[in-house]
Amino acid sequence: MALYDHPNTPGVKIVENSLLPPSIVQVSTAVPVFLGYTERGPQNQARRISSLKEFEVQFGTGKSYTFVTTQNGSTYTAATPASGTPFFFYEAIRLYFMNGGGACYVISIGGQTIVDVQNFIAAMPAIEKLDEPTLILFPEAANLDMTNYGLVANAALAVAQTTKDKFVILDSPLNSNLLDSISPELSNYRQAIVGNLSYGASYYPALVTTVKYAINTTNITDPVGSTAYNNQLAAINSVNNAIIPPSSIIAGIYAKVDREIGVWKAPANIALLGVLNPVQAISDADQENLNVDATTGKSVNAIRNFVGRGTLIWGARTLDGNSNEWRYIQVRRLFITVEESVKKAVSQFVFENNDAKTWTKLNAMVRSYLNGLWKEGALMGAKADEAYFVEIGLGTTMTTQDILEGRMIVKIGLAAVRPAEFIVLEFSHFVNQ
């Protein structure tokens, strides 16, 4: 068949031949899928949204809470609801977008009535079927006890390990104190988390935010707009700062860093927006216990407040803190991104001839992609050959038997950039002779 139209008609024919190899398009790197309780919406069905307004249209707003006020003359004081505020999915999503988050997926696991571990676990198969999301979060699971939170976390880590294209951002139970040196809660938390640890990271503690819960005003009997009514609302708002586990805010920071720099940049030493302070202050000694554990290696990243700088993410470790390969979040996420991007791009070579022509084309395509990453600063090395390698060929990555059995094997190596986690300054007192 001719490569041009009307081959039997006299005239000049033009045939365009591509001399460039096919390219690799990098997959999205920070698209979360959130599990949580919503005012309305279909359950266990993923919906893609790009703004808080879209969330409100599809899932409603936050649960309203009743606050009790006490009057002392013309002064009112308010107490937080005795039953607590376990439903904060809407507020968590709001803080995600406030901190730079973009498009994400939301899976409603039920109405705002009761927090049940089975609701979270039942939604995991829906996540496994999603291709675009790369992060898994479940903020309201922090209302569970340590054992049940571990069940949810481990189910999410299992999904990430199976798909190999997702990363889990963990909180810890809201009623836990991981800094208590007498209590075994930090040890219990580490024991509760199992699975492939390199596919997740944990953050502590919860955060006091500037976001307010919706207020149920039916118990305020004074006329709307009256001085007494307004004073009671003011008293309520003074104690009405939502306390949110950090995962949704962290996801927003991941998205912002990926967009502005790249997935290879550590999502740390960054101020959090909409946050007043962590619920617990963390010292250097506290963080040492969180950051390093010789037995399990399950690192917990601290969120700390620094004078003049605000509340910062002060850690960049995966749960696999004792691994030289997968200790850092950006290294694990960079490999997830490269693996998924290359996997999708090379699928076009399935059923192509397993010969030198195909190998050369595939080699050039992968090298071009990795060279771009190296130039952007994602890989170490003064020269490209020091930053990555790509190997494919008979006698190099394949045997004759491999070819007979239909296997085309490509070996790729990356020199990922590690963060300067510990900067050591050495000073000497020099005496002028």
Segment 200-248, tens digit of pLDDT: 999 999 999 999 999 999 989 999 999 999 999 999 999 999 999 999 9
**What's the length of the chain?**
433
Predicted pLDDT of residue 28 = 82
Per-residue pLDDT at 429 exceeds 90 = no
Segment 275-292, tens digit of pLDDT: 999 999 999 999 999 999
Handedness of CA 57, 60, 61, 64 (dihedral sign): positive
Q: What does the mean pLDDT of the chain come to?
A: 92
Per-residue pLDDT at 5 exceeds 80 = no
Per-residue pLDDT at 8 exceeds 80 = no
Q: Would you kindly state where each structural domain of the chain is located, as residue ranges? A: 32-326, 350-414
Per-residue pLDDT at 3 exceeds 80 = no
Predicted pLDDT of residue 1 = 45
DSSP string covering 406-418: T----EEEE-BPP
Per-residue pLDDT at 362 exceeds 80 = yes
Residue with tokens 């990795």: 370
Dist CA 248 CA 240 (whole Å):
19
Q: What is the DSSP letter of 28?
A: P
Q: Which of 174, 59, 195, 71 is nearest to 124 (CA)?
A: 195
Portion of the chain with pLDDT greater than 90, in percent: 84
Dist CA 128 CA 109 (whole Å):
15
What is the average per-residue pLDDT within 388-397?
A: 93
Per-residue pLDDT at 15 exceeds 70 = no
Per-residue pLDDT at 194 exceeds 50 = yes
Predicted pLDDT of residue 90 = 98
Per-residue pLDDT at 425 exceeds 80 = no
For 376-397, letters b (16+ CB in 10 Å) and e give eebbeeeeeeebbebebeeeeb
List all residues 6 or more positions away from 221 whose beta carbon is below 8 Å from its beta carbon: none
Q: Using an 8 Å Cβ cutoff, are 263 and 30 in contact?
A: yes
Predicted pLDDT of residue 4 = 61
What is the average per-residue pLDDT within 394-423?
A: 90
Q: How many CA atoms lie within 13 A of 315 on its CB side?
A: 27
Dist CA 269 CA 258 (whole Å):
15
What is the average per-residue pLDDT within 293-309?
A: 94
Q: Compute how many other C-beta atoms are within 10 angstroms of the C-beta atom of residue 243.
A: 20
Q: Residue 109: pLDDT band by 50, 70, 90 thresholds?
A: very high
- 414 or 431, greater pLDDT: 414
Q: Using an 8 Å Cβ cutoff, are 85 and 174 in contact?
A: no
Per-residue pLDDT at 92 exceeds 90 = yes
Dist CA 139 CA 173 (whole Å):
10
Segment 136-188, tens digit of pLDDT: 999 999 999 999 999 999 999 999 999 999 999 999 999 999 998 888 999 99
Task: Name the strand (E) or helix (H) holding 340.
Answer: helix 329-346
Dist CA 79 CA 364 (whole Å):
65
Predicted pLDDT of residue 82 = 75
Predicted pLDDT of residue 181 = 80
The class of domain 32-326 in CATH terms is alpha beta
Per-residue pLDDT at 17 exceeds 70 = no
